[in-house]
Amino acid sequence: GENVEQHPSTLSVQEGDSAVIKCTYSDSASNYFPWYKQELGKRPQLIIDIRSNVGEKKDQRIAVTLNKTAKHFSLHITETQPEDSAVYFCAAPTRGADGLTFGKGTHLIIQP
């Protein structure tokens, strides 16, 4: 099946700085990579996703990049704000099982 590794597990940045979270995947056939944000006690919310026919996608302060050759994808958040504090999960399709395999999550802390 798919294996998704996510780094770092905790990331602390100053408000206004940028944050980058990285994920690698094992299945070269994977072609869909969503990112979810989960605040404490709440549901995971889809914030951005990318399909394998593009290398980068942006939505305001959030961007995702994909390198299919290296099998890794990254989440970039610019001009971080206190409300960006949360746990972020990357995911990729679970091979042969039609679900999503998630990374272990990154706890992003925005320091005032």
18 or 45: CB nearest other proteins: 45
| Segment contacting other proteins by CB under 8 A, of 10-18, 60-68, 75-83, 95-103 | 95-103
> Please, what is the minimum distance in Å from the beta carbon of residue 49 to other proteins?
6
- What's the CA gap between 79 and 91, in Å, rounded? 24
Bridge partners, 50 (sequence order): 33
Letter string b/e over residues 19-43, b meaning 16 or more CB atoms within 10 A of that residue's CB: bbbbbbbebeebeebbbbbeeeeee
> Please, what is the minimum distance in Å from the beta carbon of residue 6 to other proteins?
8
> Please, what is the minimum distance in Å from the beta carbon of residue 111 to other proteins?
21
| Segment contacting other proteins by CB under 8 A, of 55-63, 65-73, 75-83, 91-99 | 91-99
What's the burial of 108, exposed, middle or buried (CB within 10 Å: 0-12/13-18/19+)?
buried
- What's the CA gap between 62 and 26, in Å, rounded? 24
Binding site for other proteins (CB under 8 A): 1, 6, 31-32, 34, 36, 42-46, 49, 51, 89, 91, 93-94, 96-105
